[in-house]
Amino acid sequence: MSKNIEIIAFVTLQKEKVLGGNPLLLLAANEEDQKQMTQDIAKALKADVVKMKNGDYLVISHPR
Amino acid sequence: MGDGMLSKEYIIVIVTATIVGTLARLFSLKADLRQYPSYPNGYLINLFVGFIAAAVGAVALPALLTKNFTAITFLTVAIQQFRDVRKAERDSLKDLENTEFTKRGDAYIDGIAKTFEARNYISLIVSFMTAITMLLVKTKMVTLEILIGAIVGFIVFYLIKRYSKGKSIGDIADVREGKIEVRDSELFVDDLYVTNLLGTENGQNLFQKEGIAVVIYPRERHFSIALDNFGQRQAILFDAARALGVKRYSFTRKEYAEGRIIITFVPIIHDVNKLIESVKNTPLLESVKKSHSVMQTNLVGKE
């Protein structure tokens, strides 16, 4: 099974989680902003979204 | 027979056997329409290669009888050609992978390519048997010889077709509709976890409203070995997706306790019966098929 899943972005509300590096780490102002940012990135890149139990979002891409 | 010219008798044998062999290829193409894309050019290519196979089978015996032994070496060339048919089919299907709703997968492609190679051998054998029959049955009526040759040819075709026919998912498993449930960003089918990829509200609503799911229940526990195979599940998902189209998302999931397999996606056309039918008709891939009886056989005298 070859699944090269890639994390494109990590969208969080907690400043201390934004450490830099790869993937793109984004700090949202509030929950609404977080949802909107995640959705916009996912739509633009035709990617999937995982909502983690702690409230952070991962935007991930599956190769077709 | 003289001056290198074939006699009328042999010409009748060759022509009849070639026609019967080509018809055998045509009938096997029709029976295999589900596996084969229905674009006319692909259909024509396979029919023409089938005609070549039939012609090779038809001339083999008259060539021997007229002491043209070198002509028999064409058989080896033909076999190489048929191997190329398998390779060409495989390359063609692999090239199309990125244009499909979901991937066919290497196992399914390998199965289809092998089938197409085998179909040419069917053509060859059918025309060969037709030619043998016509040369053995000597009557004064040419029409009767042709008729008997064609009948034997079609009987051989029927027997080989029956022998080479593989099983499908419906033969080893029951397929029932699954109940979709979205809990936060997680997707469940019949209470079985499938994925947590529904992170957005749009995705959750889409799956809850328009998603479709089936659950495959193996009839015997050992059938799970074939059904759990990734290539087999990919083939099932591909056939299901091709039958209904995919608007968004497509997942398969296996469950080990009862050996259930889940197939779920958001289709373009929401038709559960059609989905169940297409899953049942998905071929059981030759490369993943395991013979339970052979595995139980005491081959080397072990206790």
**Quick one: tokens of B227?**
């059904």
How many Å apart are CA B111 and CA B229, to the nearest integer?
Answer: 14
Given a cut of 70, the residues of chain B with pLDDT beneath it are 1-5, 30-39, 290-303
Tell whether B117 and B74 lie within a shared domain.
Answer: yes
Nearest to B58 by CA among B22, B14, B6: B14
The answer to the question of residue A1 being in a domain is no
How many Å apart are CA B126 and CA B98, to the nearest integer?
Answer: 37
* The domain boundary residue, chosen from B103, B134, B165: B165
* The domain boundary residue, chosen from B165, B180, B197: B165
How many Å apart are CA B157 and CA B27, to the nearest integer?
Answer: 10
Tell whether B148 and B199 lie within a shared domain.
Answer: no
Predicted confidence (pLDDT) per residue in B36-45, tens digit: 555 677 788 8
Residues 6+ apart with CB under 8 A from B260: B190, B192, B215, B216, B217, B218, B254
| Domain tally, chain A | 1
Tell whether B152 and B228 lie within a shared domain.
Answer: no
* The domain boundary residue, chosen from B149, B165, B181: B165
Of chain A residues 16-55, which have a CB less than 8 A from chain B? 35, 38-39, 42, 48-51
Tell whether B153 and B270 lie within a shared domain.
Answer: no
Q: What residue numbers bound the domain in which B227 lies?
A: 170-290
Mean pLDDT of A12-22: 81
Per CB-CB distance under 8 Å, the chain A contacts of B199 are: 38, 42, 48-51, 57-58
B197–A48 CB contact, under 8 Å: yes
Tell whether B39 and B144 lie within a shared domain.
Answer: yes
The pLDDT assigned to B28 comes to 85
Tell whether B196 and B245 lie within a shared domain.
Answer: yes
| Domain tally, chain B | 2
Compute the nearest-CA separation of B256 from chain A (Å).
18
The pLDDT assigned to B2 comes to 46
Tell whether B160 and B213 lie within a shared domain.
Answer: no
The pLDDT assigned to B38 comes to 57
Tell whether B161 and B203 lie within a shared domain.
Answer: no
The pLDDT assigned to A2 comes to 47
The answer to the question of residue A57 being in a domain is yes
The pLDDT assigned to A1 comes to 44
The answer to the question of residue B188 being in a domain is yes
How many Å apart are CA B68 and CA A49, to the nearest integer?
Answer: 69
The pLDDT assigned to A9 comes to 92
The answer to the question of residue B221 being in a domain is yes
The pLDDT assigned to B96 comes to 84
The pLDDT assigned to B254 comes to 92
Tell whether B202 and B275 lie within a shared domain.
Answer: yes
**What sections of B137-255 are H helices per DSSP?**
142-164, 169-172, 201-210, 223-228, 230-244
